[in-house]
Amino acid sequence: MLSACAMTRVEFFFNVPDKLVKVVELSEKAVARGCRLTIFTQNDAMGQLLQQRLWQQSAPSFLPSSTMPFDALSQYAPIVIDADGQHLIQDDILINLQTVHPPFFSRFRVLVEIVGIDEEDKVAARSRFKFYRDRGYQVKSTDVASSQVTTIHDV
């Protein structure tokens, strides 16, 4: 659990041409560092598609994940894919793929927001960015179009 004085670190990756590819890249790096992730998807269909991509990584970078409904082994998976936020089993990293801020984001050590290239997604992201900043969270942003950065910083 987070200590009372710890504040969630918020990171935005924007101008991402394929959000699921970026999530897989970030997940691979974070899991290699021993981190656990919850990926908050827009819906169950997106969650299933993401799980297929995670499970189809090459053998050396296999990314075990669990989706709803949970089974007995879900608690051991380093990546949990969740569309409703009802089964939060860790407090390390949250990757948000929804258009609104997750109401439970502050329980996580790191929140990662992935923003696509279409204008509608950017407008929703600006609203989330302002929401976090207005509440005193430090927000780091990375323009993927002009950067080669693919890791979650200082995890």
Residue listed under structure tokens 């990756």: 13
For the four alpha carbons of 53, 110, 85 and 97, in that order, the dihedral sign comes to negative
3-57 pLDDT, tens per residue?
455 789 999 999 999 999 999 999 888 888 989 898 999 888 888 888 888 877 6
C-alpha to C-alpha distance for 125 and 115, rounded to whole angstroms: 7
Q: Residue 103 pLDDT > 70, yes or no?
A: yes
Measuring CA to CA, which residue among 10, 54, 51 is closest to residue 28?
54
pLDDT band at 60 (very low <50, low <70, confident <90, very high): low
Domains of the chain (ranges; CATH) run 9-145 (3.40.50.10110)
The residue-averaged pLDDT of 87-109 equals: 91
Distance between start and end Cα atoms, the chain: 15
C-alpha to C-alpha distance for 130 and 45, rounded to whole angstroms: 29
Residue 154 pLDDT: 46
**Cis ω for the linkage preceding 78 (within 30 of 0):** no
135-153 pLDDT, tens per residue?
999 999 999 988 655 555 5
pTM, entire model: 0.83
- DSSP, res 70: P
